Amino acid sequence: MNHTDSNRWRTVDIVVASVIAVAFGVVFQLWNILWKGSDGPFAFFAPLQSVMYGVWLIPAVLSALIVRKPGAALLTETVASTVSVLLGSPYGAMAILQGAVQGLGVESVFAATRYRSYRPVTAALAGAAGGLFATVFDVLYWYPATSWTTFRLPYIAFGVLSCLLVAGLGAVALTRALANTGVLDRFPAGRDRALV
């Protein structure tokens, strides 16, 4: 099988990406509530709230690591954000665009490797890139009147770090845990478990 054939989506790829998206769409809605309720604890330094950001990017990195097809991160993150909107996200339809931006950030790193590297360092960088795309979107759309030095740059930095650790390395840990159960045997991530 050549590399082009391996990039073709199978039915099982679509199903798994969809299941990840729907499951995390529910998680997103719960995380939205937690995020909204965390304004008080972070009142002493509001940009620090973005340390919670990584959870929102887990499905993009997780799907890319499992499905390993072009578009997996973008599709999964966009569908997950759509599910959260359908469940009543306080951010409204703009959350769908935000999900696409997040997925695009993650996707960009896997695309830069020509979809050939799924190592932990690649996943961490993908999480960080998704976090960068997402937090830059945030400061431009949600926080346009804030200062770059006292809010925006720290918010971006904490968000990128959160996404690197929680979404990037967290998705690696989830992939390994799932692979060890055998449920990913139909995917390269499952067949690689002995190497992981």
Tell me the C-alpha distance between 8 and 36, whole Å: 40
Specify whether the CB–CB gap between 159 and 42 falls below 8 A: no
Buried b / exposed e over 88-118, threshold 16 CB at 10 Å, is ebebeeebbebbbbbbbbbbbbbbeeebeeb
What mean pLDDT do residues 149-159 have? 98
Question: How many residues in the chain?
Answer: 196
Pull the structure tokens for residue 158.
Answer: 């904490």
Summarised one tens digit per residue, pLDDT across range 51-90 is 999 999 999 999 999 999 999 999 999 999 999 999 999 9
Q: What is the mean pLDDT of the chain?
A: 94
At 5, is the pLDDT very low, low, confident or very high (cuts 50, 70, 90)?
Answer: low
Enter the pTM of the model.
Answer: 0.94
Q: Determine the pLDDT at residue 3.
A: 54
Considering only CA atoms, which of 69, 125, 73, 129 is closest in space to residue 99? Answer: 73
Domain extent listing, the chain: 11-188
Helix (DSSP H) and strand (DSSP E) numbers for the chain: 9, 0
CATH of span 11-188: 1.10.1760
